[in-house]
Amino acid sequence: RAKVAVLLSGTGTNMAALLYASRFDDSPYEIVLVASNDPDAEGLALARDENVPTFALAHRGMDRTEHDAAMDAAIRESGAQYIALAGYMRILGAEIVSRWEGRLLNIHPSLLPKYKGLDTHARALEAGDATHGCSVHLVTPELDDGPVLGQLEIAIRSEDTPETLAARVKFAEHQLYPRVLGRYVGRCYDPDWLLQRVRELALAQVETE
């Protein structure tokens, strides 16, 4: 099974969704480390109670490159082959991002490319959108800009506030992330994924002819 490190800064509900999904026999990944830039993060305590190895390093007083490098060292030490950002509220520098290129995923609470950055729920409501949702994407040096691996769309209700909408997007995130991560890391063994890729490649071939 592919080894995954999860990075978080907050409550860690996405980490929990990833972890619990990994307990199914057919999960193509396992969580080998949960790491945080906040030693008091709730998600870190949860991981500890679930007997998952943890690592914490407060970023205060450290520059970004130095902090990234220490996180990176702990991640490599854990044997992780992939990193899943799950509410890691610190922008990663170019060095760590390029080192993990293609193996660093993030979940973002909007239907990218809409609403990169913060306050996505309030922005979707202000725009009068009919739907909202979440995206899992590969991380590139540009914020919330990498290739999208999967999305889940949900309805915006007329009575929604940023809080009620955020809560329902979270439900969607918990469905989306384990599935997309599993598909991505297990892609070599996934016949559906291979078939899809073969079709895409055949289509690209036809289009260039």
Q: Is 170 exposed, middle or buried (0-12, 13-18, 19+ CB in 10 A)?
A: middle
Q: Is 83 annotated as a binding residue?
A: no
* Residue number with the smallest Cβ distance to ligand GAR: 87
Phi-psi region of 117 (alpha: psi -120 to 50; beta: other; left: phi over 0): left
Q: What count of other Cβ atoms lies within 10 Å of the Cβ of residue 89?
A: 14
Whether residue 108 lies in the annotated active site: yes
Q: Is 123 annotated as a binding residue?
A: no
Q: DSSP states of 109-165 as a string?
A: SS-TTSS-SS-HHHHHHHTT-SEEEEEEEE--SSTT-SPEEEEEEEEPPTT--HHHH
CB of 39 to ligand GAR, least distance (A): 15
Rule CB under 6 A: say whether 43 interacts with ligand GAR: yes
Q: Which of 108, 121, 132, 137 is catalytic?
A: 108
Site string for ligand GAR, 78-117 (x = CB under 6 A): --------xx-------------------xxx--------
Rule CB under 6 A: say whether 37 interacts with ligand GAR: no
CB of 37 to ligand GAR, least distance (A): 13
Options 5, 8, 138, 181; binder of ligand GAR; rule CB under 6 A: 8
Q: Based on CB atoms, which residue is closest to ligand GAR, 72 or 173?
A: 173
The β-bridge partners of 29 are 2
Options 3, 10, 53, 179; binder of ligand GAR; rule CB under 6 A: 10
CB of 186 to ligand GAR, least distance (A): 22
Tokens describing residue 37? 């830039």
Cα dihedral angle (178, 179, 182, 187), rounded to 10 degrees? Answer: -160
Q: Based on CB atoms, which residue is closest to ligand GAR, 32 or 107?
A: 107
Options 38, 68, 72, 173; binder of ligand GAR; rule CB under 6 A: 173
Q: Is 62 annotated as a binding residue?
A: no
Tokens describing residue 91? 């922008």
Tell me which residues touch ligand GAR (CB under 6 A).
8, 10-14, 43, 86-87, 107-109, 170, 173
Active site residues: 108
